[in-house]
């Protein structure tokens, strides 16, 4: 008998329908020498420390770090899991061959292999069903091309390393910081400080961005402009920092004629957008409609299971060469709902450029595209996502957008000005998208002639420098994809994908985990750190534990394991050595009484001055200064030392009428925070688990 294991009951039903297997049993569908059964996502997980040794149920620094010599598995404790696993185990024991039909990716492989391991059926022959969509044609073709399951051993090795490394870092770091700092707010109850291999660097990015915003001080500036023939011309020099410096130029040109000295133009083409991967889809939908990354993923998964779009958890924006013949048929299927847009395409001669077809840039799955099957009634989120996927798919095959960029130079009393305007010659793909709000450089220009002159209206515009923008889910996903770097350019993001934080499949869950644990909060479209989140980042002494770059390097190594370019044992050995170093350094770490501390901005030594503490690198331009007087509190020399070496006073202080926690921000300024509440976390500590990442 052949046994097929899927990730969800709905997928099992889809496969059974295609294979014409109809005999429904308790927990599986049987027929034609085949049994199709299902998991409920993850059925099997890693055991807890107390299951290795009852003494480890107690949280203590003396038992850390704990790294099992060999990880053990157990069933997750959810309703119905025991019964369904019993069905799967019995079928696997009876099977002559087992087919893995879980989601075709890292986590799907882990679900299947963990089930095999706990069933003691790892020696059975296994095959792999690799699906890019759940349409009947795709299922039928995939069954004709079943792969040897062991061709995916490297994928399983990477999945297992992800699971075990998250367990090692998350469990040990969470226990260490909870035991060491859990009573920071006073009282008998401990606060659970949840730390993770991926979630903590993401939190650190948000805290740092918020610190940059909170400590930003707007500076005024003045721009010299003039109006000539209803067009705004800007002074070609730098903007002015003071009104006194700007006023003489304004007076110089007031009442003087304005002359056009040159008119130039050049054509600019904008390439059509590339197809969606999951992260880009999440970002675009968040920007346009405000949907969270988690809601977008859930909607795309529903569309996938409804056979309307291809596999969602992909990091590729390209299609395989063998997809090329299928594309015209997909367009034909969409003509009933997008006929007017598709009519502009020649389906017999579509432009299959390297921006669309590139086998080298398709890993596990190709880009997210529609299947051509038309939807029925969709929910609100599903309709938004489906419309975005279809529009992007059509736009990728549309012509370039051609613009004419006109530059007009002018002068008044030897003071030079310039105006720019944009004229759309061929809208191309941009016709499919809403028109963007016009910028100053997009103004419509009349037909200027070189040498013409006339009166003008000069003016000084006053403005203020703006702080960095708070993270939205759109920009946070982009920073996670590029390992913390602020990157908007498509090609640069593509180059940094190998070193992103998390994977397209897990980034939404990481954000939701931080929200659930009250380390971040949503403020309309913004994502900001809470006081608890700030406090946790201040408490974590090891810089690598909150480093996006380090986490990006780990993720890159997991991808190397997937490609059999790195030994999984070497990776896990490095993770184990790392967490041992974190615990040992934390256990033995004491204040260095011979130094004040390191500058939080540049890392150089801090020295004591007459009234304050400053960075020894001031000659190189570092402006860090720490005034020991904060509100009504005067810090002692020892407290300053603690702040600079630990970034936090590990006990509450009285500021005004309140008991607060004092920390040193990532930008080097003192901040006081509300004390975290332990009561709210009692139930969470009882069921504490190291999170994915």
pLDDT band with cut points at 50, 70 and 90 for residue 590:
confident
Give pLDDT, residue 691: 42
- Average pLDDT for the chain: 91
The string of pLDDT tens digits covering residues 603-649 is 899 999 999 999 999 999 998 999 999 998 999 999 999 999 888 88
| 436 falls within a domain | yes
436, burial (CB in 10 Å: exposed 0-12, middle 13-18, buried 19+): exposed
Give pLDDT, residue 682: 44
- Bridge-based pairing state of the strands 653-655 and 633-634: unpaired
What CATH number has the domain bearing residue 502?
Answer: 1.10.460.10
DSSP H helix total and E strand total for the chain: 20, 27
Give pLDDT, residue 101: 96
Which run of H or E residues covers position 671? Answer: strand 670-673
Domain stop point among 571, 589, 607: 589
The string of pLDDT tens digits covering residues 29-47 is 999 999 999 999 899 999 9
SS3 of 437, please? coil
- Positive or negative, the CA dihedral 522, 524, 525, 529 is negative
| 539 falls within a domain | yes
Which run of H or E residues covers position 145? Answer: none
What CATH number has the domain bearing residue 118?
Answer: 3.40.50.140
| 259 falls within a domain | yes
Give pLDDT, residue 487: 62
Look at 3-17, 287-301, 367-381, 472-486 and tell me which has the smallest mean pLDDT. 472-486
Q: What whole-number distance in Å separates Cα of residue 233 and Cα of residue 514? A: 47
Domain stop point among 542, 564, 589: 589
- Two tokens at 253? 């040109």
SS3 of 604, please? coil
pLDDT band with cut points at 50, 70 and 90 for residue 679:
very low
The string of pLDDT tens digits covering residues 542-578 is 888 998 888 888 989 999 999 999 999 999 999 999 9
Give pLDDT, residue 652: 85
Order of strands, sheet of 520-523, starting from the edge strand that comes earlier in the sequence: 471-472, 526-529, 520-523
What CATH number has the domain bearing residue 288?
Answer: 1.10.290.10
pLDDT band with cut points at 50, 70 and 90 for residue 494:
low
Q: Please report how the helices 199-214 and 507-516 are oriented relative to each other, as an axis angle in degrees rounded to 10.
A: 70
Domain assignment of residue 421, given as a range: 220-271+401-464
CB within 8 Å of 670: residues ≥ 6 apart:
626, 630, 643, 662, 663, 664
Catalytic residue among 176, 304, 311, 613: 311
List b or e across 92-116, with b for residues whose CB sees 16 or more CB atoms inside 10 angstroms. beebeebbbbbbbbbbbbbbbbbbb
| 691 falls within a domain | no
Residues 436 and 488 in one domain: no
Residues 12 and 141 in one domain: yes
| 106 falls within a domain | yes
Distance linking the first and last C-alpha atoms of the chain: 39
| 181 falls within a domain | no
- Two tokens at 367? 């880009």
Residues 347 and 202 in one domain: no
| 168 falls within a domain | no
Average pLDDT over residues 308-336: 95
For 27-83, the DSSP string reads TEEEETTEEEEE--S--EEEPPHHHH-GGGGS--GGG-S---SS--EEE---TTHHH
Residues 634 and 491 in one domain: no
Does the structure show a pLDDT above 70 at 440?
A: no
Give pLDDT, residue 235: 97
Domains identified in the chain, total number: 5
Give pLDDT, residue 236: 96
- Bridge-based pairing state of the strands 2-6 and 34-38: parallel
Q: What whole-number distance in Å separates Cα of residue 275 and Cα of residue 394? A: 9
CA angle 604, 605, 611 (to 5 degrees): 125
Domain stop point among 395, 415, 431: 395
For 391, other C-beta atoms within 10 Å of its C-beta total 18
pLDDT band with cut points at 50, 70 and 90 for residue 485:
confident
Give pLDDT, residue 495: 63
The string of pLDDT tens digits covering residues 394-414 is 999 999 999 999 999 999 999
Residues 122 and 192 in one domain: no
Residues 263 and 285 in one domain: no
- Bridge-based pairing state of the strands 97-101 and 2-6: parallel
Average pLDDT over residues 163-178: 96
Give pLDDT, residue 689: 42
Does the structure show a pLDDT above 70 at 123?
A: yes
Query: To the nearest whole percent, how much of the chain has pLDDT over 70?
Result: 94
| 561 falls within a domain | yes
- Two tokens at 232? 């705004």
- Range list of H helices, 182-277: 199-214, 243-253
The string of pLDDT tens digits covering residues 289-310 is 999 999 999 999 999 999 999 9
Please name every residue paired with 533 in a beta bridge, in sequence order, or none if there are none: none
Q: What whole-number distance in Å separates Cα of residue 305 and Cα of residue 282? A: 18
Look up tokens 């909170």; give the residue: 214
The string of pLDDT tens digits covering residues 176-225 is 999 988 876 555 567 899 999 999 999 999 999 999 999 899 999 999 99
Cβ–Cβ under 8 Å, residues 649 and 639: yes
Average pLDDT over residues 419-429: 93
Give pLDDT, residue 359: 92
Task: Look at 2 and 658; give whichever has higher pLDDT.
Answer: 2
Q: Is 651 a catalytic residue?
A: no
C-alpha distances in angstroms, 99 versus 31, 94, 344, 622, 639? 15, 13, 44, 61, 63
φ and ψ at residue 252, rounded to 5 degrees: -65, -40
Does the structure show a pLDDT above 90 at 349?
A: yes
Model confidence, pTM = 0.89
Q: What whole-number distance in Å separates Cα of residue 203 and Cα of residue 530? A: 10
List b or e across 568-602, with b for residues whose CB sees 16 or more CB atoms inside 10 angstroms. beebbeebbebbeebbeebeeeeeeeeebbbbbeb
Residues 369 and 265 in one domain: no
Residues 17 and 91 in one domain: yes
Give pLDDT, residue 181: 85
For 328-382, the DSSP string reads HHHHHHHHHHHHHHHTTS-TTS----TTTB-GGG-SSS--B-B-SPPP-SPPHHH
Residues 10 and 93 in one domain: yes
Cβ–Cβ under 8 Å, residues 415 and 252: yes
CB within 8 Å of 465: residues ≥ 6 apart:
218, 219, 221
For 626-666, the DSSP string reads E-SEETTEE--HHHHHHHHHHSB-SS-EEETTEEEEEEE-T
Look up tokens 């993401």; give the residue: 202
φ and ψ at residue 431, rounded to 5 degrees: -65, -20
Does the structure show a pLDDT above 50 at 276?
A: yes
What CATH number has the domain bearing residue 414?
Answer: 2.70.20.10
Cβ–Cβ under 8 Å, residues 250 and 458: yes
Give pLDDT, residue 683: 39
Residues 34 and 105 in one domain: yes
pLDDT band with cut points at 50, 70 and 90 for residue 692:
very low
Residues 334 and 390 in one domain: yes
Residues 241 and 291 in one domain: no
């Amino acid at each position: 008998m052949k046994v097929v294991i899927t990730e969800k009951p709905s997928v099992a039903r889809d496969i059974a329908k295609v294979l014409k297997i109809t005999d429904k049993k308790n927990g599986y569908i049987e027929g034609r020498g085949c049994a199709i059964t299902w998991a409920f996502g993850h059925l099997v997980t890693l055991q807890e420390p107390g299951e290795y040794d009852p003494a480890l149920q107690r949280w203590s620094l003396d038992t850390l770090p704990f790294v099992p010599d060999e990880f053990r598995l157990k069933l997750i404790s959810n309703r119905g899991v025991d019964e369904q696993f019993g069905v799967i185990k019995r079928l696997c024991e009876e099977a002559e061959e087992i087919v893995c039909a879980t989601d075709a990716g890292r986590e799907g492989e882990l679900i299947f292999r963990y089930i095999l391991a706990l069933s003691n059926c790892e020696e059975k022959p296994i095959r792999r069903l690799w699906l890019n969509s759940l349409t009947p044609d795709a299922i039928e073709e995939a069954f004709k091309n079943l792969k040897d399951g062991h061709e995916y051993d490297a994928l399983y090795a990477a999945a297992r390393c992800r699971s075990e490394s998250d367990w090692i870092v998350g469990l040990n770091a969470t226990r260490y910081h909870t035991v060491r700092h859990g009573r920071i707010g006073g009282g008998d109850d401990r606060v659970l400080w949840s730390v993770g291999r991926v979630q903590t660097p993401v939190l650190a990015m948000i805290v740092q961005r918020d610190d940059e915003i909170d400590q930003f001080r707007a500076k005024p500036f003045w721009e010299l402009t003039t109006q000539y023939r209803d067009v705004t011309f800007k002074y070609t020099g730098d903007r002015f920092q003071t009104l006194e410096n700007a006023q003489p130029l304004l007076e110089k040109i007031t009442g003087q004629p304005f002359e056009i000295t040159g008119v130039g133009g050049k054509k600019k083409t904008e390439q059509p957008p590339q197809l969606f991967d999951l992260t880009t889809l999440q970002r675009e939908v968040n920007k346009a409609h405000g949907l969270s990354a988690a809601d977008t993923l859930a909607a795309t998964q529903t569309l996938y299971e409804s056979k309307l779009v291809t596999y969602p958890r992909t990091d590729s924006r390209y299609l395989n060469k063998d997809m090329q013949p299928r594309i015209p048929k997909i367009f034909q299927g969409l003509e009933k709902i997008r006929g007017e847009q598709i009519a502009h395409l020649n389906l017999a001669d579509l432009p299959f450029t390297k921006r669309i077809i590139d086998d080298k840039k398709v890993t596990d799955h190709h880009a997210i595209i529609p299947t051509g099957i038309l939807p029925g009634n969709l929910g609100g989120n599903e309709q938004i996502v489906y419309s975005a996927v279809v529009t992007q798919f059509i736009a990728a095959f549309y012509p370039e957008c051609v613009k004419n960029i006109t530059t007009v130079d002018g002068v008044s009393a030897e003071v030079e000005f310039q105006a720019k305007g944009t004229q759309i010659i061929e809208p191309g793909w941009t016709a499919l998208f809403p028109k963007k709000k016009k910028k100053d450089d997009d103004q419509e220009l009349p037909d200027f002639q070189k040498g013409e002159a006339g009166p003008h209206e000069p003016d000084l515009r006053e403005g203020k420098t703006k702080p960095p923008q708070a993270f939205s889910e759109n920009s946070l996903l982009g920073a996670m994809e590029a390992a913390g770097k602020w990157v908007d350019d498509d090609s640069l993001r593509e180059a940094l994908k190998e070193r992103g934080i998390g994977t397209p499949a897990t980034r939404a869950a990481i954000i939701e985990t931080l929200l659930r644990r009250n380390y971040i909060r949503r403020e309309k479209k913004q994502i900001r750190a809470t006081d608890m989140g700030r406090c946790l980042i201040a408490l974590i002494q090891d810089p690598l534990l909150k480093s996006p770059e380090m986490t990006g390097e780990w993720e890159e190594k997991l991808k190397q394991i997937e490609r059999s370019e790195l030994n999984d044992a070497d990776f896990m050995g490095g993770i184990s050595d790392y967490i041992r170093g974190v615990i040992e350094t934390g256990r033995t770490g004491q204040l260095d009484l011979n130094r004040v501390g390191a500058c939080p901005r540049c890392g150089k030594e801090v020295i004591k001055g007459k009234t304050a503490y400053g960075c020894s690198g001031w000659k190189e331009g570092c402006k860090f200064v720490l005034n020991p007087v904060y509100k009504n509190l005067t810090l002692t020399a020892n407290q300053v030392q603690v702040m600079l070496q630990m970034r936090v006073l590990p006990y509450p202080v009285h500021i005004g009428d309140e008991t607060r926690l004092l920390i040193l921000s990532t930008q080097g300024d003192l901040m006081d925070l509300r004390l975290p509440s332990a009561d709210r976390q009692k139930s969470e500590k009882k069921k504490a688990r190291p999170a994915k990442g």
